[in-house]
Amino acid sequence: MEEKVKIRVITGSLTSVLIILGFILFRIFSVSTQSVLSYPITFFKNFISLSASSGASDAILNSVTSPLIYLIPFIPITIAFCVLVFYGVNFGEDRRLGLLSCLISSVIGMIIVGPSLTSLIFALSIMICGALITPLSIMYLEELKKWKKYRIGSKTIDKCFLLINLLLLFALFLNVFFEIEYYNDIYTNETKEIVIEMVPDIGGDEMLQAEGFELMPPEQQEEIREEYSKLTESQKDVINSRIEDMFESGNISVLINLSIFLMPLMVFAFLELLRIIILIPMAGLITRITLTEVKS
Q: Is residue 174 pLDDT above 60, yes or no?
A: yes
Binned at pLDDT 50, 70 and 90, residue 209 comes out as low
Binned at pLDDT 50, 70 and 90, residue 9 comes out as very high
Least confident of 29-43, 89-103, 262-276: 29-43
Range ranked top by mean pLDDT from 185-194, 232-241, 259-268: 259-268
- Looking at residue 204, its pLDDT comes to 47
Average pLDDT of the residues in 160-170: 96
Taking Cα atoms as reference points, which of 112, 110, 142, 114 lies closest to residue 126? 110
- Looking at residue 215, its pLDDT comes to 62
Residue 289: Cβ within 10 Å count: 12
Contact 92, 167 (CB under 8 A): no
**How much is the mean pLDDT over the chain?**
84
Q: Using one digit for the tens of pLDDT, what is the confidence trace for 74-105? A: 999 999 999 999 999 999 889 999 999 999 99
Please report the DSSP string for the chain in residue order: -HHHHHHHHHHHHHHHHHHHHHHHHHHHTT--HHHHHTHHHHHHHHHHHHHHHH-HHHHHHHHHHGGGGGTTTHHHHHHHHHHHHHHHHHH---HHHHHHHHHHHHHHHHHHH---HHHHHHHHHHHHHHHHHHHHHHHHHHH--SSHHHHHHHHHHHHHHHHHHHHHHHHHHHHHHHTHHHHHHHHHHHHHHHHHHHSPPSSTTHHHHSTTGGGS-HHHHHHHHHHHHHHHHHHHHHHHHHHHHHHHSHHHHHHHHHHHHHHHHHHHHHHHHHIIIIIHHHHHHHHHHH-TTS--
- Looking at residue 201, its pLDDT comes to 55
Average pLDDT of the residues in 259-286: 93
Least confident of 117-131, 175-189, 270-284: 175-189
